[in-house]
């Protein structure tokens, strides 16, 4: 046997940076550390203590997401809690979270990751009270930031200062992970103490306040448009949004190279759920008020293109759907997705054609022409992650990056489609939504026709097929198409009921 082969040598002392990484990667998930520390704190008065626990470096705010720097690791004796303590820890952890926002793909195709597989996506996230985020951000926030520290090559040796060295490294790691220069907070005059990964943005915490810092896909001119827009609607009485935060030089966006960044104030609240008809109604109220109070606004300088060619959009999508169905039907080696798409193709074609027919209604076309004369602004990214419930019946809107001049039927149809899918196409959802919009401005027959047209188009199936055939394949797309097929009958009943009400 050659020297050293098959022989285990006693290793020498590892470098400090290796020991630091080992300490980081062997920590339990943050939410367990935090929950366990809470349990231990409640038991301090007991005289029968058989284990000890290290004190946390800094307690997080009540109801807030785990700070990027986790508390010190509990001693080995505390890593095997009793079953009832584990249950209590999980229960405590479920009230602590930040919402990972969705990314933005405009009015075109949104890539499909399946019903429960969603990537971290750009946007603002402010939810942090109650419930558990749909994307599970809280459970992975600390681990992600640790991995980022390794990948970005940030120094792991302790800084010269002795105050919270782990915190200082952590916020830098989070900014690096999002492509945000670590010097950017200086432009705002912030002395950063912590940072939390929100998926598509970063929550930056100082001793005085918290902010959301985002690397955005939109140009600085559009940020200026949004800032003027929100200032305008605020002057009209609409305040349910996170205001932009200016820099020390009173700028509302910053550019570094080809990238644009902006900050908003941090708002605490709970992400709304589109599985609740009441919360859908409260969200509709916010959208309706925003659209109505934005009428007459025009920014100084850049104004984005308006979105009033709904008929053209539906025709283009319908043509694309027909082409996608043909592709599935001529496949020589069809997979399960192709076969399912073939099976439902007749119904998809029928819905797409009927949607276009609804959009050709003369009254509906005339309505858009008149509405564009003094149009309002739509949010256009109506997903649960962009709306938070801050108090009873008061929903706030976040992430206006897609907002532009458009008829309110776009926001209505987006809200209805996503909430109806979650509630098995229950008519009560539509009732709550229309009720809130009607209180702000009564819905007209042409508007109902446009909602009917937009909902009749089989968006979910088209988007899934578009992503698979024109972008990439992913196993979860098959389940997404199956879910569309399963809801087909309930969807058909709802659409027929809505059509009957419009025609009578």
- Collapsed DSSP state (helix, strand, coil) of residue 499: helix
Backbone φ and ψ of 320, nearest 5°: -65, -40
Domain ranges of the chain: 271-503
- pLDDT tens for the chain, residues 1 to 504: 444 444 334 445 545 544 544 444 444 443 333 333 444 444 444 443 333 333 333 333 333 332 223 333 333 333 333 334 333 333 333 332 222 333 323 343 344 433 333 443 433 444 333 322 333 323 333 333 343 333 333 333 333 333 334 444 489 899 999 999 999 999 999 999 999 998 889 999 999 999 999 999 999 999 999 999 999 999 999 999 999 999 999 999 999 999 999 999 999 999 999 999 999 999 999 999 999 999 999 999 999 999 999 999 999 999 999 999 999 999 999 999 999 999 999 999 999 999 999 999 999 999 999 999 999 999 999 999 999 999 888 999 999 999 999 999 999 999 999 999 999 999 999 999 999 999 999 999 999 999 999 999 999 999 999 999 999 999 999 999 999 999 999 999 999 999 999 987
CA–CA gap between residue 380 and residue 397 (Å, rounded)? 11
Closest CA to 68 of 27, 101, 38: 27
Neighbours of 368 (CB within 10 A): 20
- Give Cα separations from 308 to 359, 361, 368 (angstroms): 12, 15, 7
DSSP states along 329-365 = HT-SS--HHHHHHHHHHHHHHHHHHHHHHHHT-HHHH
With both helix axes pointing from N to C terminus, report the angle between 459-470 and 476-486 in degrees, rounded to the nearest 10.
160
CA–CA gap between residue 383 and residue 379 (Å, rounded)? 10
Asked if CATH classification 1.10.10.10 holds for the domain at 271-503, the reply, yes or no, is no
Across the strands, what pairs with 264?
Answer: 212, 244
CA 4, chain centre distance (Å):
54
- In a 10 Å sphere around its CB, with 0-12 CB exposed, 13-18 middle and 19+ buried, how is residue 466 labelled? buried
CA–CA gap between residue 178 and residue 122 (Å, rounded)? 10
């Amino acid at each position: 046997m050659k020297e050293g082969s098959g022989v285990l040598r006693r290793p020498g002392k590892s470098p400090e940076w290796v020991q630091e990484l080992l300490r980081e990667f062997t920590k339990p998930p943050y939410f367990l550390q935090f929950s366990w520390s809470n349990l231990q704190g409640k038991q301090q008065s007991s005289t029968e203590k058989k284990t000890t626990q290290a004190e946390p470096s800094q307690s997080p705010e009540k109801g807030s997401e785990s700070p990027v720097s986790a508390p010190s690791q509990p001693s080995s004796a505390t890593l095997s809690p009793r079953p009832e303590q584990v249950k209590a820890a999980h229960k405590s952890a479920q009230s602590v979270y930040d919402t990972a926002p969705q990314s933005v793909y405009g009015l075109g195709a949104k890539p499909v990751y399946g019903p429960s597989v969603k990537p971290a996506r750009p946007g603002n996230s402010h939810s942090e009270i109650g419930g558990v985020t749909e994307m599970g951000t809280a459970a992975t926030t600390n681990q992600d930031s640790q991995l980022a520290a390794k990948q970005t090559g940030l120094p792991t040796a302790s800084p010269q200062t002795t105050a919270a060295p782990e915190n200082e490294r952590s916020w830098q790691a989070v900014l690096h992970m999002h492509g945000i220069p670590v010097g950017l907070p200086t432009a705002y005059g912030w002395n950063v103490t912590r940072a939390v990964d929100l998926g598509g943005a970063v929550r930056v915490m100082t001793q005085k306040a918290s902010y959301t810092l985002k690397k955005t896909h939109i140009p600085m001119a559009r940020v200026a448009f949004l800032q003027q827009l929100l200032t305008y609607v605020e002057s009209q009485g609409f305040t349910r949004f996170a205001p932009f935060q200016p820099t020390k030089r009173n700028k509302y966006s910053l550019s570094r190279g080809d990238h644009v960044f902006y900050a908003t104030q941090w708002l605490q609240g709970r992400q709304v759920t589109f599985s609740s008809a009441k919360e859908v109604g409260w969200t509709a109220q916010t959208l309706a008020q925003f659209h109505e109070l934005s009428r007459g606004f025009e920014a100084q300088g850049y104004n984005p293109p308006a979105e009033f060619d709904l008929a053209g959009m539906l025709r283009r999508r319908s043509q694309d759907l027909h082409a996608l169905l043909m592709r599935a039907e001529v496949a020589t080696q069809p997979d399960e997705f192709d076969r399912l798409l073939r099976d439902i193709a007749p119904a998809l074609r029928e819905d797409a054609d009927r949607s276009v027919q609804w959009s050709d209604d003369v009254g509906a076309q005339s309505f858009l022409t008149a509405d564009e004369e003094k149009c309002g602004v739509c949010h256009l990214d109506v997903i649960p992650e962009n709306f938070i419930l801050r108090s009873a019946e008061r929903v706030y809107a976040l992430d206006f990056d897609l907002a532009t001049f458009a008829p309110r039927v776009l926001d209505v149809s987006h809200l209805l489609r996503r909430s109806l899918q979650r509630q098995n196409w229950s008519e009560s959802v539509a009732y709550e939504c229309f009720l809130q919009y009607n209180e702000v401005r009564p819905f007209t027959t042409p508007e109902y026709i446009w909602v009917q047209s937009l909902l009749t188009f089989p968006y979910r199936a088209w988007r899934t097929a578009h992503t698979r055939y024109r972008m990439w394949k992913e196993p979860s797309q098959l389940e997404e198409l199956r879910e569309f097929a399963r809801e087909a009958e309930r969807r058909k009943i709802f659409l027929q009921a809505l059509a009957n009400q419009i025609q009578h």
